Amino acid sequence: MKVFNNPRDMQNQAQRWRRSSSGTVGFVPTMGALHEGHLELVRRSRKENKHTVVSIYVNPTQFGPKEDFNQYPRTLEADLKLLKREGVKAVFTPSDQDMYPEGFSVKMEITGPLVNGLCAPHRPGHFNGVVTVVVKLLNLVLPDRLYLGQKDAQQAAILKKTLQDLDTGVETVICPIVREPDGLAMSSRNQRLTPEGRKSAAVLYRALKVGKSIVDLGESDAEKVLVEIRKVVEAERNIKLQYLEAVDADNLQPVIEIKPGTLLALAAYLDNVRLIDNIVV
């Protein structure tokens, strides 16, 4: 397994693959502290492409000043072992200095309906940071396909639209959410929960499933469904909902009437850790 620290080395490798037309390249960008959710993206990419590149980079520009950039778990050695075991041949782990050298002066901005709701108003600048770093990474890795998780549904929708709007020719592949046995969506941030918080966290998916089952029984009034989900979450002490919304899964616009394809999405704080989850009904 080759580990590229330097962006130029990564790009040279990518260009060699391109020139030799030796099959497609799949790319899985991550912030590390890898778990099964990440590894499923890696497996899917390995299945669908000749080459798979995984990046591990905790991107400072997508964290707000009061967010958890410093506390974000960093477990590079364990991550590399996992990727080696998966048969990954190329990992990209750039430094901040290489990604944002002194004088770096580009900031991409997402506008429009995709950033009206969900995480965007609560994390000003977050998605601009995500898009900027992913476009840089794409220019270094030159992939044919980009693998993203449904766990970060808004991020996936925004990146898919960005790749289309910028005519990158890169295909977006969105993979299902991988969960712990009790239903909690896997996340690098779960490591930061206390044992008690970890138990409480399962309520988020339980609540979303209650919402889905009400819809399955015939309720289509979004507000009524959201009220029932909220009740389940709020019955658990120590959890604070940041938002709970019913939106169209493609354009992320709020819906009044729930239809097939509606996304129920939430963010909540627990032990000072911000967790997100969603379900498509």
- Residues labelled as active-site residues: 38
Partners of residue 268 on adjacent β-strands:
241, 275
Among 187, 200, 262, 278, binds ligand AMP (CB under 6 A): 187
Give the residue among 224, 244, 233 at the shortest CA–CA distance from 205.
Answer: 233
Which among 137-145, 170-178, 209-217, 229-237 is the span making contact with ligand AMP, rule CB under 6 A? Answer: 170-178
Contact assessment for residue 42 and residue 52, using Cβ atoms and an 8 Å cutoff = yes
The residue with tokens 């030796």 is 22
Which among 1-9, 173-181, 193-201, 253-261 is the span making contact with ligand AMP, rule CB under 6 A? Answer: 173-181
- At its nearest, how many Å lie between ligand AMP and the CB of residue 148? 4
Among 178, 193, 222, 270, binds ligand AMP (CB under 6 A): 178
As a dihedral over the C-alpha atoms of residue 212, residue 218, residue 219, residue 225, rounded to 10 degrees, the angle is -10
Contact assessment for residue 21 and residue 14, using Cβ atoms and an 8 Å cutoff = no
Pull the structure tokens for residue 97.
């200095």
Which among 75-83, 95-103, 183-191, 244-252 is the span making contact with ligand AMP, rule CB under 6 A? Answer: 183-191
DSSP annotation of 105: -
Among 38, 126, 145, 212, binds ligand AMP (CB under 6 A): 38
Per CB under 6 A, 31 contacts ligand AMP: yes
Residue type at 97 in one-letter notation: Q
Among 91, 115, 131, 148, binds ligand AMP (CB under 6 A): 148
Closest CB to ligand AMP among residues 13, 188? 188
Per CB under 6 A, 37 contacts ligand AMP: yes
Contact assessment for residue 148 and residue 137, using Cβ atoms and an 8 Å cutoff = no
Per CB under 6 A, 46 contacts ligand AMP: no
DSSP annotation of 97: H
Closest CB to ligand AMP among residues 30, 132? 30
Exposure of 235 by Cβ count < 10 A (0-12 exposed, 13-18 middle, 19+ buried)?
Answer: exposed
End-to-end CA distance of the chain: 40
In this structure, is the dihedral angle defined by the CA atoms of residues 122, 63, 274 and 182, taken in order, positive or negative? positive
- Would you give the binding string for ligand AMP spanning residues 54-93, x where CB under 6 A is met? ----------------------------------------
Which among 91-99, 113-121, 179-187, 240-248 is the span making contact with ligand AMP, rule CB under 6 A? Answer: 179-187
Contact assessment for residue 156 and residue 180, using Cβ atoms and an 8 Å cutoff = no
User: Which positions lie near ligand AMP, rule CB under 6 A?
Assistant: 30-31, 37-38, 41, 148-149, 151-152, 175, 177-178, 185-188
